[in-house]
Chains A and B, each alone.
Chain A
Amino acid sequence: MTFPSRQRIYQAGLMVFMIVGPGLITAVADNDAGGVATYTVAAAMFGMASQFFIIPTTLLLALTQEVGARISIVTGKGLGGLIREQYGVRAAIVIFSLYYIVNQGVVLQNMSGLKAALQLFGLPWQFSLIVICIVLSLVIIEFNYKKLQKVFLLMIAFYATYVISAIIIHPNWSDALRESMVWPQHVNIWNGDYWFSLIAVLGTTITAWGQFFISSYIVDKGLHVKDLVANRIEVYVGAILTNGISWMMAIAVTYTLFVHGITVSSGFEAAQAIAPLAGQFAASLFAFGLLSASLLGLAIVPLATAYVFTEMFGFERTLNVNFKAGKVFYVFFLIQLCFGALVTLVPAINLFQLTLYADYLNGAMLPVIFFFLIKFSTDKSLLGKHVISRYTKWALYLASGTITLAVAGTILYRLF
């Protein structure tokens, strides 16, 4: 058996570092405000058993992102661009309209997450929300691609608050591992609600926008076939990190709320309920985590919308040009952000109901995206020798089937 030389290991490490970005940012941003809410609500209800699907979920996320990334690396085109080229303008318009609505919903979810975080900090939320939106727009418009990537990576670092809050409450680690990875013992596994919460956790980890965003981002970054392996590593690391974070989130909730039998219905309530049990510091960490999750979602999801629009309809795009040159790109960003902020500011609108619909729509969109992923990744005329292997193909079928069923199940359950 031969070992790779030190030099080789060093070079491989360097490669991963150089292409770091798309896989990591997309995966972690999947834990946006909507994700935080789902994980905390589920963990308060079922404890660490709510994370029972953590390993398959990680694999599913990594697999679907890896296939999407591979398609874009080899063809040099984003998923949106490929749909337009292969299926024509009608398909593109239909998919984009659906996608736009889904993403507007996700923006709304994150806007309400931002509102909750601001309220937890005791700030005047209307005023702060407007200020934050303005600052966010300026950052997106003024910063170039490199700086923006650094901002995204920094925001990802803020997710560490969940890890800290999990550690400071001194959880029972072996119990947590057993519940989430071996077999849940604290819940009645014949309880239908339990299974639906598992499915909800799975559904919120894999998002429609994430599938599009990773591919557009890769094209913009100019990744090449040579980067395939390094990118795959990054995607898997990203998936493990993301689900590691949600696992920590679940721990923090389980050993405070769940063990005391307190159920909550939102991230806001969870942070409020944690304060008397684990102290103000833990609650603040939670609020801070919610804030950064919302901000990352607000920054990335409108970008993901603009990317697909420009890819499909051929307007000038890239994160590299200033506001004037990339007008369409930034206008789209601003429209989604402003609409989200306005809806959030209107007191009469039931945000909770709206964010629920956003989840349904996201779920409905996933099977469509998987259809394209399978089509493109098995098309020899597109990928040549880089078409996915037979095993990957079956894994992808299995993944798509599972997620589609899971999502359909959740929607049906919530509706009736």
Chain B
Amino acid sequence: MFYLSQILNSKVRDSSDAVIGKLVDIAVEYNTEQYPGVVFLQVEVKGEDAFIPYQLVENFGKHEITLNTLFKSSFLSTRPTEQYIYIIRDILDKQIIDIEGHKVVRVNDLCLTALNERQHVVGFDISLRGILRRMGLSRLDLFNLTSAELLDWRNAQFVDSGELKLATASQKLHRLHPADLANIIEELNITQAMQLIGTLNHGKSAKVVEELEPDVQKVLFKLLGYQKVKDITGKMSSDELADLLQELPKDLTEKILANIEHSKLEKVNALINYSENTAGGLMNNEFISLASDLTVAEAIAKIKTVSPDYRSIMFVYVFDQAGKLLGPLSLRNLVVADANQLVNTLLKPIEQLTTLSPDAPLKEVVEVMTRYDLFTVAVLDDDGKLVGIVSVDDVLRSLFPQA
């Protein structure tokens, strides 16, 4: 295995053993799924660039590269027209996304190795040791304090290398969890971030946007263009959307509100006026309500039909005829119960029902949920009407916004 820094500028000899120039760049195939093979060597010959196909290389060594042919002037100024990656021009010193580590890193050096008798680029050195090696100062590290940190080629995504942009983002990147993608986006610059979001489908981009820091959301929404904003907000959950709208400039908020579907608009409007860090600000108002006279089988049938409209369902909420909340019912209780049983027989006694008012501060929310070991807690308005649900992930998010 070689490091790029060890072979860069090494002498290139032709078959007559004459030194024809020095290696200045290496062109490889563009392939994000497999290690790319070397296709051309860019050699500087008396101040001019020559492009030598890899087939003509006889020996690819650390200090010297020899060709199996005599130097021909036709090598000069024949830059291949195909879209290759030039590893120095396009990769070295540039930023790439480390897909496994969910972060943006800078390439300090590259690793090449022979596979099937051809040199391939296999990875990137992103460590301090890479910098020392580039400077020819590896020996400075007497006690081996630094170690090479290598990133596999297949786990990297380029962000800006000439024409090879994020439009061709690898499948691996798309398969990441929205929260991890959001972390990556926060480390990119605004142009790159918009490109990356542009490659995601609406559902995924909505989930990613929900995970972004409010400041980043704000900047993105101002620039993404109206159509994309509309697509993304259409897929966002109403509580996240309500939080976001509070941050955005007024004209943009109005535009977004004018275009979301009616049922969602009501939900968003109901949430938008509660202040942050109160039960009202934390809650979401997407919950399934059931009449108390349904049987378990009917209840499960209803959950199945409405399920696609909900982000997550842990509990359903049972109401009497007058619309008064009788209590939450977990999916577990529903699943293990007898199909003909009425749902109100499964409820805990109403005396045990714990609820919060919308202006309960975060501290109270945490106390109540901790004391009663709750995953979710219902929020009732002054008239005793259920207005929303605070779930434990909403609380965690507001306690540790940086996570």
Question: Any chain A CB within 8 A of the CB of B115?
Answer: no
A313 touches B106 (CB 8 A): yes
B215 touches A145 (CB 8 A): yes
> In the complex, which residues of chain A have a beta carbon less than 8 angstroms from the beta carbon of B219?
221-222, 224
B402 touches A76 (CB 8 A): no
Which stretch of B187-195, B327-335, B342-350 is in the interface? B187-195
What is the CB-to-nearest-CB distance from A88 to chain B, in angstroms, rounded to a whole number? 6
> In the complex, which residues of chain A have a beta carbon less than 8 angstroms from the beta carbon of B216?
222
Question: Any chain A CB within 8 A of the CB of B228?
Answer: no
A224 touches B191 (CB 8 A): yes
B106 touches A224 (CB 8 A): no
A314 touches B106 (CB 8 A): yes
Cα of A191 to Cα of B276 in the assembled complex, Å = 65
Question: Any chain A CB within 8 A of the CB of B264?
Answer: no
A85 touches B93 (CB 8 A): yes
Question: Any chain A CB within 8 A of the CB of B114?
Answer: no
Question: Any chain A CB within 8 A of the CB of B131?
Answer: yes
Cα of A316 to Cα of B402 in the assembled complex, Å = 14
Question: Any chain B CB within 8 A of the CB of A101?
Answer: no
B131 touches A313 (CB 8 A): yes
* Residues 173 to 194 of chain B near chain A (Cβ within 8 Å): 186-187, 189-193
> In the complex, which residues of chain B have a beta carbon less than 8 angstroms from the beta carbon of A321?
402
Which chain A residue has the least Cβ–Cβ distance from B223?
A: A224
Cα of A90 to Cα of B191 in the assembled complex, Å = 27
Q: CB-defined interface of B72-100 with A at 8 Å, one 1/0 digit per residue?
A: 00000000000000000000111100000
Question: Any chain B CB within 8 A of the CB of A119?
Answer: no
Which chain A residue has the least Cβ–Cβ distance from B107?
A: A314
A76 touches B131 (CB 8 A): no
Question: Any chain B CB within 8 A of the CB of A241?
Answer: no
B106 touches A84 (CB 8 A): yes
Category for how many chain B residues contact A: 20 to 34
Most buried by A among B93, B95, B126, B215: B93
Question: Any chain A CB within 8 A of the CB of B364?
Answer: no
Cα of A316 to Cα of B188 in the assembled complex, Å = 11
Which chain B residue has the least Cβ–Cβ distance from A310?
A: B106
A18 touches B93 (CB 8 A): no
What is the CB-to-nearest-CB distance from B191 to chain A, in angstroms, rounded to a whole number? 4
A325 touches B106 (CB 8 A): no
Question: Any chain A CB within 8 A of the CB of B103?
Answer: yes
A84 touches B135 (CB 8 A): no
B105 touches A320 (CB 8 A): no
* Residues 76 to 121 of chain A near chain B (Cβ within 8 Å): 76-77, 81, 84-85, 88-90, 92-93
Question: Any chain A CB within 8 A of the CB of B213?
Answer: yes
* Residues 219 to 245 of chain B near chain A (Cβ within 8 Å): 219-220, 223
Q: Known: A224-B223, A313-B106, A314-B126. Is A88-B93 also a contact (CB below 8 A)?
A: yes
Cα of A313 to Cα of B128 in the assembled complex, Å = 9
Cα of A314 to Cα of B93 in the assembled complex, Å = 9
What is the CB-to-nearest-CB distance from B378 to chain A, in angstroms, rounded to a whole number? 32
Question: Any chain A CB within 8 A of the CB of B108?
Answer: yes
Category for how many chain A residues contact B: 20 to 34
Q: CB-defined interface of B51-80 with A at 8 Å, one 1/0 digit per residue?
A: 000000000000000000000000000000
A224 touches B108 (CB 8 A): no
Question: Any chain B CB within 8 A of the CB of A287?
Answer: no
- Quick one: which of B92, B126, B190, B215 contacts A224, CB cutoff 8 A? B190
Cα of A77 to Cα of B187 in the assembled complex, Å = 12
> In the complex, which residues of chain A have a beta carbon less than 8 angstroms from the beta carbon of B191?
76, 224
Question: Any chain B CB within 8 A of the CB of A223?
Answer: yes
Question: Any chain A CB within 8 A of the CB of B323?
Answer: no
> In the complex, which residues of chain A have a beta carbon less than 8 angstroms from the beta carbon of B103?
316
Question: Any chain B CB within 8 A of the CB of A260?
Answer: no
Which chain B residue has the least Cβ–Cβ distance from A72?
A: B189
What is the CB-to-nearest-CB distance from B286 to chain A, in angstroms, rounded to a whole number? 29
Question: Any chain B CB within 8 A of the CB of A188?
Answer: no
A322 touches B215 (CB 8 A): no
Cα of A85 to Cα of B189 in the assembled complex, Å = 15
> In the complex, which residues of chain B have a beta carbon less than 8 angstroms from the beta carbon of A318?
186-187
- Quick one: which of A90, A226, A314, A316 contacts B135, CB cutoff 8 A? A90
Most buried by A among B190, B193, B219: B190
B134 touches A316 (CB 8 A): no
Question: Any chain B CB within 8 A of the CB of A219?
Answer: yes
B135 touches A320 (CB 8 A): no
A90 touches B189 (CB 8 A): no
> In the complex, which residues of chain B have a beta carbon less than 8 angstroms from the beta carbon of A325?
402
Question: Any chain A CB within 8 A of the CB of B249?
Answer: yes
Question: Any chain B CB within 8 A of the CB of A146?
Answer: yes
A316 touches B187 (CB 8 A): yes
Which chain A residue has the least Cβ–Cβ distance from B192?
A: A76
> In the complex, which residues of chain A have a beta carbon less than 8 angstroms from the beta carbon of B126?
314
A222 touches B190 (CB 8 A): yes
B134 touches A90 (CB 8 A): yes
* Residues 202 to 244 of chain A near chain B (Cβ within 8 Å): 219, 221-224, 226
Cα of A145 to Cα of B218 in the assembled complex, Å = 14
> In the complex, which residues of chain B have a beta carbon less than 8 angstroms from the beta carbon of A313?
106, 131
> In the complex, which residues of chain B have a beta carbon less than 8 angstroms from the beta carbon of A224?
190-191, 219, 223
Cα of A18 to Cα of B189 in the assembled complex, Å = 18
Cα of A12 to Cα of B187 in the assembled complex, Å = 29
> In the complex, which residues of chain A have a beta carbon less than 8 angstroms from the beta carbon of B213?
320
Which chain B residue has the least Cβ–Cβ distance from A317?
A: B187
B215 touches A314 (CB 8 A): no
B402 touches A322 (CB 8 A): yes
> In the complex, which residues of chain A have a beta carbon less than 8 angstroms from the beta carbon of B193?
222
Cα of A18 to Cα of B191 in the assembled complex, Å = 19
B108 touches A89 (CB 8 A): yes
Cα of A321 to Cα of B401 in the assembled complex, Å = 10
Cα of A222 to Cα of B194 in the assembled complex, Å = 11
* Residues 56 to 82 of chain A near chain B (Cβ within 8 Å): 76-77, 81
- Quick one: which of A76, A89, A320 contacts B93, CB cutoff 8 A? A89
> In the complex, which residues of chain A have a beta carbon less than 8 angstroms from the beta carbon of B223?
224, 226
* Residues 171 to 188 of chain A near chain B (Cβ within 8 Å): none
Which chain B residue has the least Cβ–Cβ distance from A226?
A: B223
Which chain B residue has the least Cβ–Cβ distance from A319?
A: B215
Cα of A226 to Cα of B220 in the assembled complex, Å = 12
What is the CB-to-nearest-CB distance from B156 to chain A, in angstroms, rounded to a whole number? 13
What is the CB-to-nearest-CB distance from A386 to chain B, in angstroms, rounded to a whole number? 12
What is the CB-to-nearest-CB distance from A310 to chain B, in angstroms, rounded to a whole number? 10
Cα of A316 to Cα of B249 in the assembled complex, Å = 30
Cα of A261 to Cα of B93 in the assembled complex, Å = 57
Cα of A92 to Cα of B94 in the assembled complex, Å = 13
What is the CB-to-nearest-CB distance from A396 to chain B, in angstroms, rounded to a whole number? 24
B93 touches A77 (CB 8 A): no
Q: Known: A89-B131, A314-B126, A321-B402. Is A219-B215 also a contact (CB below 8 A)?
A: no
What is the CB-to-nearest-CB distance from A411 to chain B, in angstroms, rounded to a whole number? 30
Most buried by B among A76, A219, A320: A76
What would 6 more interface pairs be, CB under 8 Å, given A92-B93, A222-B190?
A88-B134, A89-B134, A89-B135, A224-B219, A314-B126, A320-B186
CB-defined A-B contacts under 8 Å, sample of 12 = A84-B93, A88-B93, A89-B93, A89-B131, A89-B134, A221-B219, A222-B193, A222-B216, A224-B190, A314-B108, A318-B186, A320-B186
In the A-B complex, the 10 residue pairs with the smallest Cβ-Cβ separation, listed nearest first, are: A314-B106, A76-B189, A222-B219, A222-B190, A76-B191, A89-B134, A224-B223, A85-B93, A84-B93, A224-B190
